[in-house]
Amino acid sequence: MLNEAASAVLKTQPRRKTEYSLRSNIALAMVAIALTLAIVAPLMMLFETAFFDENQSFVGLENFYNYFASPALLSSIFNSVWIACAATVITVFLASIYAFALTNVNIKGKGFFKVVAFLPILAPSLLPSLALVYLFGKQGVFKPLLGDIQIYGPIGILIS
Protein backbone atom coordinates (compact mmCIF):
# COMPACT_ATOMS: atom_id res chain seq x y z
CA MET A 1 0.00 0.00 0.00
CA LEU A 2 2.80 2.40 0.93
CA ASN A 3 4.72 1.59 -2.24
CA GLU A 4 1.64 2.27 -4.36
CA ALA A 5 1.11 5.63 -2.65
CA ALA A 6 4.74 6.58 -3.09
CA SER A 7 4.73 5.63 -6.77
CA ALA A 8 1.50 7.59 -7.31
CA VAL A 9 3.07 10.69 -5.77
CA LEU A 10 6.18 10.30 -7.89
CA LYS A 11 4.14 9.90 -11.07
CA THR A 12 2.12 13.06 -10.41
CA GLN A 13 5.18 15.26 -9.98
CA PRO A 14 6.64 16.51 -13.25
CA ARG A 15 10.20 15.53 -13.93
CA ARG A 16 12.54 18.48 -14.07
CA LYS A 17 14.93 18.42 -16.97
CA THR A 18 18.36 19.67 -16.00
CA GLU A 19 19.46 22.08 -18.65
CA TYR A 20 22.32 24.46 -18.38
CA SER A 21 22.22 27.77 -20.14
CA LEU A 22 24.60 28.63 -22.94
CA ARG A 23 26.10 31.32 -20.72
CA SER A 24 26.99 28.84 -17.97
CA ASN A 25 28.48 26.39 -20.49
CA ILE A 26 30.64 29.15 -21.96
CA ALA A 27 31.75 30.27 -18.50
CA LEU A 28 32.65 26.69 -17.57
CA ALA A 29 34.61 26.26 -20.79
CA MET A 30 36.51 29.51 -20.20
CA VAL A 31 37.43 28.47 -16.65
CA ALA A 32 38.57 25.06 -17.90
CA ILE A 33 40.73 26.68 -20.60
CA ALA A 34 42.21 29.17 -18.12
CA LEU A 35 43.09 26.43 -15.63
CA THR A 36 44.60 24.28 -18.38
CA LEU A 37 46.73 27.18 -19.60
CA ALA A 38 47.77 28.03 -16.05
CA ILE A 39 49.12 24.51 -15.66
CA VAL A 40 50.43 23.76 -19.16
CA ALA A 41 52.11 27.12 -19.98
CA PRO A 42 54.64 27.09 -17.10
CA LEU A 43 55.42 23.43 -17.78
CA MET A 44 56.10 24.16 -21.44
CA MET A 45 58.36 27.08 -20.53
CA LEU A 46 60.24 24.88 -18.09
CA PHE A 47 60.59 22.11 -20.66
CA GLU A 48 61.91 24.61 -23.20
CA THR A 49 64.71 25.71 -20.86
CA ALA A 50 65.86 22.09 -20.50
CA PHE A 51 67.42 22.29 -23.97
CA PHE A 52 69.60 25.33 -23.18
CA ASP A 53 72.67 25.76 -20.99
CA GLU A 54 73.50 28.56 -18.53
CA ASN A 55 74.51 30.90 -21.40
CA GLN A 56 71.18 30.32 -23.18
CA SER A 57 72.86 28.47 -26.05
CA PHE A 58 71.07 25.45 -27.47
CA VAL A 59 72.63 22.15 -26.33
CA GLY A 60 69.93 19.67 -27.37
CA LEU A 61 69.71 16.54 -25.23
CA GLU A 62 73.07 17.06 -23.50
CA ASN A 63 71.43 18.23 -20.25
CA PHE A 64 69.30 15.08 -20.16
CA TYR A 65 72.34 12.89 -20.84
CA ASN A 66 74.31 14.53 -18.01
CA TYR A 67 71.38 14.16 -15.63
CA PHE A 68 70.77 10.47 -16.35
CA ALA A 69 74.51 9.69 -16.30
CA SER A 70 74.77 10.88 -12.70
CA PRO A 71 75.41 7.99 -10.27
CA ALA A 72 73.42 9.82 -7.58
CA LEU A 73 70.26 9.47 -9.70
CA LEU A 74 70.14 5.69 -9.37
CA SER A 75 70.69 5.94 -5.63
CA SER A 76 67.94 8.54 -5.21
CA ILE A 77 65.49 6.49 -7.28
CA PHE A 78 66.24 3.40 -5.17
CA ASN A 79 65.79 5.36 -1.93
CA SER A 80 62.50 6.85 -3.13
CA VAL A 81 61.09 3.48 -4.20
CA TRP A 82 62.28 1.81 -0.98
CA ILE A 83 60.69 4.49 1.23
CA ALA A 84 57.45 4.41 -0.81
CA CYS A 85 57.17 0.61 -0.58
CA ALA A 86 58.01 0.51 3.13
CA ALA A 87 55.54 3.30 3.94
CA THR A 88 52.83 1.58 1.91
CA VAL A 89 53.33 -1.78 3.63
CA ILE A 90 53.38 -0.22 7.11
CA THR A 91 50.35 1.99 6.44
CA VAL A 92 48.23 -0.77 4.91
CA PHE A 93 49.14 -3.15 7.76
CA LEU A 94 48.27 -0.66 10.50
CA ALA A 95 45.14 0.58 8.73
CA SER A 96 43.91 -2.99 8.23
CA ILE A 97 44.28 -3.73 11.93
CA TYR A 98 42.51 -0.47 12.81
CA ALA A 99 39.64 -1.12 10.37
CA PHE A 100 39.30 -4.74 11.52
CA ALA A 101 39.12 -3.62 15.14
CA LEU A 102 36.54 -0.94 14.35
CA THR A 103 34.25 -3.30 12.49
CA ASN A 104 34.53 -6.39 14.66
CA VAL A 105 34.88 -5.08 18.21
CA ASN A 106 31.90 -3.70 20.08
CA ILE A 107 33.26 -0.80 22.12
CA LYS A 108 31.82 2.45 23.38
CA GLY A 109 32.84 5.52 21.43
CA LYS A 110 33.28 3.73 18.10
CA GLY A 111 32.24 6.93 16.32
CA PHE A 112 35.10 8.79 17.98
CA PHE A 113 37.63 6.30 16.64
CA LYS A 114 36.12 6.60 13.15
CA VAL A 115 36.58 10.37 13.32
CA VAL A 116 40.15 9.97 14.58
CA ALA A 117 40.92 7.82 11.52
CA PHE A 118 40.06 10.77 9.26
CA LEU A 119 42.02 13.44 11.15
CA PRO A 120 45.20 13.05 9.03
CA ILE A 121 43.17 14.05 5.99
CA LEU A 122 42.32 17.38 7.62
CA ALA A 123 45.86 18.21 8.74
CA PRO A 124 48.40 19.57 6.26
CA SER A 125 50.93 16.95 5.20
CA LEU A 126 53.85 18.96 6.57
CA LEU A 127 52.40 19.21 10.08
CA PRO A 128 53.42 15.72 11.34
CA SER A 129 56.95 16.18 10.02
CA LEU A 130 57.38 19.52 11.77
CA ALA A 131 55.97 18.11 14.98
CA LEU A 132 58.38 15.17 14.76
CA VAL A 133 61.36 17.50 14.33
CA TYR A 134 60.25 19.81 17.16
CA LEU A 135 59.75 16.88 19.52
CA PHE A 136 62.55 14.47 18.56
CA GLY A 137 64.99 16.60 16.52
CA LYS A 138 68.52 17.52 17.58
CA GLN A 139 67.18 20.10 20.04
CA GLY A 140 63.79 18.46 20.54
CA VAL A 141 61.94 18.21 23.82
CA PHE A 142 61.96 14.39 23.87
CA LYS A 143 65.38 13.88 22.24
CA PRO A 144 66.90 12.31 25.42
CA LEU A 145 64.31 9.51 25.19
CA LEU A 146 65.68 8.36 21.82
CA GLY A 147 69.32 8.11 22.83
CA ASP A 148 71.53 7.77 19.75
CA ILE A 149 68.67 7.22 17.29
CA GLN A 150 68.38 9.93 14.65
CA ILE A 151 65.02 10.89 13.11
CA TYR A 152 66.68 12.42 10.08
CA GLY A 153 66.68 10.11 7.07
CA PRO A 154 64.56 7.08 6.17
CA ILE A 155 63.41 6.35 9.73
CA GLY A 156 62.12 9.88 10.20
CA ILE A 157 60.35 9.80 6.85
CA LEU A 158 58.62 6.54 7.72
CA ILE A 159 57.60 7.76 11.18
CA SER A 160 56.13 10.99 9.88
Which residues, at least 6 apart from 108, have a Cβ–Cβ distance to it below 8 Å?
Answer: none
Distance CA 8, CA 139 (A): 72
pLDDT, position 15? 64
DSSP annotation of 112 reads H
pLDDT, position 89? 96
Is the sign of the CA dihedral 88, 89, 90, 92 positive or negative? positive
Which residues, at least 6 apart from 13, have a Cβ–Cβ distance to it below 8 Å?
Answer: none
H runs (alpha helix) in 70-123: 71-104, 110-122
Burial 115-147 (b: 16+ CB within 10 A, else e): eeeeeeeeeeeeeeeeebbeebbeebeeeeeee
Q: Which amino acid is at 87?
A: A
Predicted TM-score of the model (pTM): 0.56
Residue by residue, pLDDT tens for the chain (160 residues) are 556 766 666 666 666 666 778 888 999 999 999 999 999 999 999 888 888 888 888 888 888 888 888 888 888 899 999 999 999 999 999 999 999 999 998 888 888 998 888 888 877 777 877 888 888 888 888 888 877 778 888 877 787 7
Distance CA 91, CA 36 (A): 34
